[in-house]
Structure 1
Amino acid sequence: MRYGMGPEVLSDVSFEIAPRSFQFLTGPSGAGKTTLLRLILLSVRPTRGLVSVFGEEVSGISNEALTGLRRRMGVVFQDFRLLDHLTTYENVALPLRVQGRSETNYRAEVVELLRWVGLGERMHVLPPLLSGGEKQRAAIARALIARPELLLADEPTGNVDPSLARRLLRLFMELNKLGTSVLIATHDFGLMDLIDARRLVLGDGRLRIEE
């Protein structure tokens, strides 16, 4: 992957995320962690090489099929991407609404998850009135609510205190036990040391894997 005429941000990176697996993506700032996540999400395309998602090579994929693949993923990026005109509850429930589920079938599920991430008292608040940490937790809850096949999270604990970071990590682990593959980009070695998981380490555009 390269941007414009600049040098390659990622060079000859090759790896596979196994079903039901858990791994961290780490490396210094600017190493390309966010770019790699965006390649998996298919929001950018590689300048050379191939990306396959859920067993499907995506270079010539249609927009309709692309949307279908993305709906099988949960994503947490650092800009949160909450909709300002929807409450915290409505933002988190949005993936279930898109699936066509009725509120009577999902309300209790959404409320329980919001309470788990510490937003039980903030579920009817609009995003502009939330703190950075609250927005982050809302974005995490939205990514998890539909139990995606693959979770991509970019520094998901960057704006929360250590105790809440550990709680969120437990939530990611529980989701993984239910069958979701998890890829968490982080530079927090304290967090990574809490569990035994594969580490994908980026540096100088290259990737090495620590099992």
Structure 2
Amino acid sequence: MIHFENVGLRYGMGPEILRDLTFDIPKRSFQFLTGPSGAGKTTLLRLLFMSLKPTRGLIRTFGRDVNTIPPGELPMLRRRIGIVFQDFRLLDHLTTYENVALPLRVRGKDEITYKTDVLELLKWVGLGDRINVLPPVLSGGEKQRAAIARALIDRPEVLLADEPTGNVDPPMARRLLNLFLELNRLGTAVVIATHDLGLMDQVEARRMILTGGHLDIYE
């Protein structure tokens, strides 16, 4: 689904942050992305999401060379990818329910076709009693769970999650991990960036370790 070949990235005339990255994200795969703080995990997720372009090398996403995709076509391709940012990016004027349902509304779906799914997903992530609350009232952990639900609601072909369990307690972290695993079983390729070794030890999955701008992969 996503192919990197000798990819490098630098900002301006500075040194390369990422160097010679060559790997694939296959269909239905599940992998953890880890490494020390400042290693470039979030930057790599942005490359995967096509919100950054490489300064050298090839990235092919859904069969398309990212460097040659017209800007007008990028939003449609990104809709096939669910992403959970560390800063959540919820819209403060929308309720929890409305934030989670937003990807479906953008696609023009009728609420009658998705309302039950949104409500069930909010219950699963522990927000069943917070559906009509605005984001400024939510705690950090609640915002994170709302952002995860929004990323999952449209069953993306690829899910990218940046520290998705960083603000929740261990039982909720396990519950969210089970949700990611279920989505993977349904066909979504999953990439979870995390420092949580305990979380990674709960699943036999590929580990992508980013250090010093280089990526090592352990199957």
- How many residue pairs were aligned? 211
1:44 aligned partner: 52
Distance 2:63 2:69 in 1: 13
Aligned ranges 1:194-205 → 2 under 5 Å: 194-205=202-213
Distance 1:101 1:126 in 2: 23
Structure 2 letter corresponding to 1:111: L
Deviations, residues 32-84 of structure 1 (Å, cap 9, x unaligned): 00000000111111111111111211112112221111000000010100000
1:140 deviation in Å? 0.1
Structure 2 letter corresponding to 1:117: V
Aligned-residue sequence identity (percent) comes to 71
Specify which structure has the bigger relative contact order, considering alpha-carbon pairs within 8 angstroms and separated by 6 or more residues.
1
Choose 5-14 or 26-35, whichever is displaced more: 5-14
Q: Structure 1 length as normaliser, TM-score?
A: 0.99
Deviations, residues 139-171 of structure 1 (Å, cap 9, x unaligned): 000000000000000000000001100000000
Distance 1:128 1:29 in 2: 28
Question: For 1:101, which of 106, 109, 112 is the aligned residue?
Answer: 109
Distance 1:2 1:187 in 2: 24
Structure 2 letter corresponding to 1:166: R
Moved over 6 A (4+): none
Question: For 1:148, which of 153, 156, 160 is the aligned residue?
Answer: 156
Aligned to 1:128, the other structure's residue is in SS state helix
Which sections of structure 1, spanning at least 5 residues, go unmatched?
Answer: none
Aligned ranges 1:72-111 → 2 under 5 Å: 72-111=80-119
Question: For 2:134, which of 126, 129, 133 is the aligned residue?
Answer: 126
1:5 deviation in Å? 2.1
Question: For 2:62, which of 42, 54, 60 is the aligned residue?
Answer: 54
| RMSD of aligned alpha carbons | 0.7
Structure 2 letter corresponding to 1:44: L
Q: Structure 2 length as normaliser, TM-score?
A: 0.95
Structure 2 letter corresponding to 1:100: G
1:7 aligned partner: 15
Distance 2:16 2:168 in 1: 33
Aligned to 2:32, the other structure's residue is in SS state strand
Structure 2 letter corresponding to 1:88: T
Distance 2:215 2:12 in 1: 22
Whose strand proportion is higher, 1 or 2?
2
Answering whether residue 43 of structure 2 is matched by residue 26 of structure 1, we say: no
Deviations, residues 115-155 of structure 1 (Å, cap 9, x unaligned): 00000000100001100000000000000000000000000
Structure 1 letter corresponding to 2:37: S
Answering whether residue 199 of structure 2 is matched by residue 191 of structure 1, we say: yes
Distance 1:181 1:194 in 2: 18
Distance 1:151 1:69 in 2: 13
1:70 aligned partner: 78
Distance 2:87 2:100 in 1: 16
